Amino acid sequence: MRLADVPSVSSELVRHKDIKTTIQPGKPTSVSRNPMTFSLYAATIPSYQQILGAVSGLLTAAEYFCAEKGISHEEIIEARLAGDMQPFGYQVKSTAVHSLGAIEGVRRGTFSPDTTKPPASFAALKTRVADTLAGLAVIQPSEVDAFVGREMRFVAGDRQLAFTAENFLLSFSQPNFYFHATTTYDILRWKGVQIGKRNFTGKLRTRA
């Protein structure tokens, strides 16, 4: 039986959680959703903290591995997956650059590649990650949410890319952040460190 054949129904509103579906005989069904509020802070900072915490754990695992196997720290820190890729130490450093460093770039209005040498020891790498986490911990949600719509630029030599702050964080820095965190993990797996997916995902933000 067609809806149009039911004379007693002129308009019906069907509700399912946040979905509203309006059914009117002879007209296309319209569906609308209540918008979900999700802040720029929530989309960035907690995930930076979660994965950086995991990176800190990966550094500890790498250090134990070197002690157990009797290999030098440099063998891990200088390891790279391919000849044209940056080494482990650079990958770790870049998780800091594309998290706290990205926020600092938005504050300045410009972000440029970090050309400084990466830390050369596990202790120094751990310190870089710890300092980054400490910097992220004091950032207020109101500051990050106020970035929305702000203009900023990526600058590398003569190359410049214009962004809004939110698009810079979500389409440039966040993908870079996950790339370098993943490569950090991949190098350790390749070298034989006994780690798994949970070592990468870190502490999940489960409901209390």
pLDDT in tens, 80-110: 999 999 999 999 999 999 999 999 999 999 9
Bridge partner residues of 110 (DSSP):
153
- pLDDT at residue 74, as a whole number: 97
> Which superfamily does 40-201 belong to?
dinb family like domain (1.20.120.450)
pLDDT over 90 (residue 19):
no
- In this structure, the strands spanning 110-111 and 151-156 are parallel
State both tokens at 125.
Answer: 């790498």
Q: What is the pLDDT of residue 36?
A: 58
User: How far, in Å, CA of 32 to CA of 70, rounded?
Assistant: 62
Q: In this predicted structure, what is the pLDDT of residue 26? A: 56
Question: Which residue did the predictor score with more confidence, 121 or 36?
Answer: 121
Summarised one tens digit per residue, pLDDT across range 21-57 is: 444 555 554 445 555 577 999 999 999 999 999 999 9
Share of the chain above pLDDT 70, in %: 83
Closest CA to 24 of 4, 51, 46: 4
Q: Which two tokens stand for residue 73?
A: 């720290």
Hey, which residues does 19 pair with through a beta bridge? 16, 33
Where do the domains of the chain lie?
Answer: 3-33, 40-201
Q: Which strands, in side-by-side order, build the sheet including 110-111?
A: 110-111, 151-156, 159-164
Q: Which amino acid is it at 172?
A: F
**Sign of the Cα pseudo-torsion (62, 67, 70, 75, in order):** positive
